[in-house]
Amino acid sequence: MQHNLARARACAPQARVWGILKANGYGHGLERAMRGFADADGLGLIEFDNAVRLRELGWRKPILMLEGFFGPEDIETMARHRLNGAVHCDEQIAWLEQAGAAAQIDGKLDLHLKMNTGMNRLGFKPEAFAKAHARLRALPFVGEITLMTHFANADEAAHPRLPIREQIRRFDAGAAGLPGPFSLSNSAGIFQQSELGAALRNDWVRPGIMLYGGTPGGKTAEAFGLLPTMTLASEIIGIQQIEAGESVGYGSRFQAEGAMRIGVVACGYADGYPRHAPAGTPVLVDGVLTRLVGRVSMDMITVDLSALPQARVGSGVTLWGKGLPIDDVADAAGTIGYELMCALAPRVPVLEG
């Protein structure tokens, strides 16, 4: 985690860094992620209960609520715990104005004003941005206003529909004349910093997946100089010798072409292994690359041991992580490393080290 955070800093040396730990630190555990990113300048997430938990755990530096507040009742929590919230719609500004009128806020509230530059999820249109900014600026309890946007295609600079340069152009137009600080880049945007230089005016960056050693797309995590932070490991708990024509698992989906040895691994979709992973998905047994065969079941998967005559009950299995990039497994399963990390199930015991 420290190594990957240092990579983010090296890619965007001018910027301060929000370590993003929404979704329980991308499945790594909130407290573990907080400790791993102790050197970050702030932490960003979505969930209010976890933000309060970070304060209880002793996090004193800034905390950014990436989706801001979901109702007027959250404003008091933000003020009490000094949470910096994204403001992305008129309703939120109205709640702030009402809270101000009711004198519910002690001290200053720092905020992020979000612009929709083409992602069309959250944020004000560029032409509505200055007005939203003026409404916030008029509130006496509002402190620093950071201007933010979010990129749709930072992993593919020349995207045919919405290239990153077009989003930056819209951002610059909407934010013209407004003071910073600015915050534009997620992990993929951070990896564009050297290419785009000063055009990407990041005073703060918001890395998530890269801090956990996953690629945001474009290149492999290794090519980006990242190290995996999560290894999902188990063991072989049973072995079956099967003959040509025999099948394996629910639906008998996999059928052996010749005699082969099948290893049964104690890990299934109830652990967060993707159920839709097809035969051929890579798995390491005793450090040797082999493949998934048969359907993923709740508590087990089955793997091909044909090329592993030494494998036996107790042999170590890596589902992803050290030695087997999570992105390779995600690719095979038609998903992304983000989803696999976030879906790690609570029943999986976590060992640190």
Question: What beta strand segments (E) does 29-186 contain?
Answer: 42-45, 63-65, 83-87, 109-115, 142-149, 182-183
Q: What is the DSSP letter of 5?
A: H
**Residues 22-51 interacting with ligand PLP (rule: CB under 6 A):** 22
Encoded tokens for 229: 């932070």
Q: ∠ CA 254-255-258 to the nearest 5 degrees?
A: 135
CB of 39 to ligand PLP, least distance (A): 17
CB of 285 to ligand PLP, least distance (A): 30
- Among the listed residues 207, 213, 249, 268, the single contact to ligand PLP using CB under 6 A: 207
Point out which residues pair with 18 in neighbouring strands.
Answer: 42
CB of 44 to ligand PLP, least distance (A): 7
Q: Is there binding between residue 209 and ligand PLP (CB under 6 A)?
A: yes
Of 24 and 186, CB closest to ligand PLP: 186
**Residues 221-260 interacting with ligand PLP (rule: CB under 6 A):** none
Residue 250 annotated to the active site? yes
Point out which residues pair with 201 in neighbouring strands.
Answer: none
User: 56 vs 50, 51, 52, 53, CA distance in Å?
Assistant: 10, 9, 6, 5
Q: Is there binding between residue 325 and ligand PLP (CB under 6 A)?
A: no
Q: Is there binding between residue 167 and ligand PLP (CB under 6 A)?
A: no
Binding segment (CB under 6 A) for ligand PLP, from list 95-103, 165-173, 207-215, 316-324 = 207-215
**Which position among 22, 26, 273, 338 bears the catalytic label?**
22
297, burial (CB in 10 Å: exposed 0-12, middle 13-18, buried 19+): middle
Of 214 and 282, CB closest to ligand PLP: 214
Of 208 and 249, CB closest to ligand PLP: 208
Of 64 and 96, CB closest to ligand PLP: 64
Say how far apart CA 287 and CA 34 lie, in whole Å: 31
Tokens 């929000």 found at: 18
Dihedral angle, C-alpha 315, 320, 323, 327, nearest 10 °: 160
For residues 214 and 230, the answer to whether their CB atoms sit within 8 Å is no
CB of 14 to ligand PLP, least distance (A): 18
CB of 94 to ligand PLP, least distance (A): 22
Q: In degrees rounded to 5, what are phi and psi of residue 174?
A: -70, -30
For residues 321 and 231, the answer to whether their CB atoms sit within 8 Å is yes
CB of 148 to ligand PLP, least distance (A): 7
For residues 226 and 215, the answer to whether their CB atoms sit within 8 Å is yes
- Among the listed residues 62, 216, 228, 282, the single contact to ligand PLP using CB under 6 A: 216
Of 66 and 285, CB closest to ligand PLP: 66
Residue, CB closest to ligand PLP: 208
Say how far apart CA 209 and CA 4 lie, in whole Å: 10
Gyration radius from the chain CA atoms: 24
Of 59 and 212, CB closest to ligand PLP: 212
Point out which residues pair with 204 in neighbouring strands.
Answer: 16, 183
The Cβ of residue 53 has, within 10 Å, a number of other Cβ atoms equal to 15
Point out which residues pair with 265 in neighbouring strands.
Answer: 236, 301
**Which position among 108, 125, 131, 250 bears the catalytic label?**
250
- Among the listed residues 206, 215, 267, 290, the single contact to ligand PLP using CB under 6 A: 206
Continuous H helices in 230-316: none
**Residues 47-106 interacting with ligand PLP (rule: CB under 6 A):** 66
Encoded tokens for 124: 């004000």
**Residues 127-156 interacting with ligand PLP (rule: CB under 6 A):** 150
Binding segment (CB under 6 A) for ligand PLP, from list 173-181, 201-209, 220-228, 283-291 = 201-209
Catalytic residue numbers?
Answer: 22, 250
Q: Contact positions toward ligand PLP, by CB under 6 A?
A: 20, 22, 66, 150, 186-188, 206-210, 216
